[in-house]
Amino acid sequence: MQYPEPIAKLIDSYMRLPGIGRKTAIRLAYFTVTMNKDDVSMFANALKETKQLLKYCSICGDLTDENPCAICQDGQRNQSELLVVEQPKDVMVMENMKNYHGLYHVLHGVLSPMDGKGPEELNIKSLLKRLQSNENIKEVIVATNATPEGEATAMYLAKLIKPAGIKVTRLAHGLSVGSDIEYADEMTLSRAVSGRTEM
């Protein structure tokens, strides 16, 4: 007995999402059938628009629907601090903490020779260009995750940036080793930012 084709397609689609196994995909597919038409359209449109309207900010590399992004355009932000994160979702984590008011730069990954990720694969060139062309930036705060790759990337960036006379700091420990900043609670993260140390 095979699933009707539209259901089979839906199951396949759900299974492409992270953390969704076959059983959950089947449950979600059958649930979708019971949803009303408007809700399904809204859901489908949200998926489509995510791909159509979102792009990467040409300055910081964050996900945005306007270029430059709202943060890069905001003159009220502290222009002397620039916080470097691995992924766009990390920007949201920091913003939700409401304790940091500077600029961002998104690397889109970390150095990981095993996975073929070298400096060229990351958003590093644009970071250096940004530091060269913007004299307001006095401090780069490296907020890569506390994993071996995150640490290696932080060291690499410090080596590149420090000769330019820009202070490079790393989030304070308190973030447990091997942890992603997205799982840190706001208090811990807030303390990690205010207690950052120079590299």
Residues lying near Zn ion in the complex (CB under 5 A) are found at: 57, 59-60, 62, 68-69, 72
Q: How far is the CB of 167 from Zn ion (least distance, A)?
A: 22
User: Which CB, 62 or 81, lies closer to Zn ion?
Assistant: 62
Cβ proximity to Zn ion: between 71 and 171 the closer is 71
Q: Please report how close the Cβ of residue 61 comes to Zn ion at its closest, in angstroms.
A: 7
Q: How far is the CB of 65 from Zn ion (least distance, A)?
A: 12
71/193 with CB nearer Zn ion = 71
Shortest distance in whole angstroms from residue 67 CB to Zn ion: 8
Q: What is the 3-state secondary structure (H, E, C) of the chain?
A: CCCCHHHHHHHHHHHCCCCCCHHHHHHHHHHHHHCCHHHHHHHHHHHHHHHHHCEECCCCCCEECCCCCHHHHCCCCCCCEEEEECCHHHHHHHHHHCCCCCEEEECCCCCEHHHCECHHHCCCHHHHHHHHHCCCCCEEEECCCCCHHHHHHHHHHHHHHHHHCCEEEECCECECCCCCHHHCCHHHHHHHHHCCEEC
**Least gap, CB of 1 to Zn ion (angstroms):** 51
Question: In this complex, which beta carbon is closest to Zn ion, that of residue 72 or of residue 142?
Answer: 72
- Please say which residue, 27 or 55, places its beta carbon nearer to Zn ion: 55
Residues found in the chain: 199
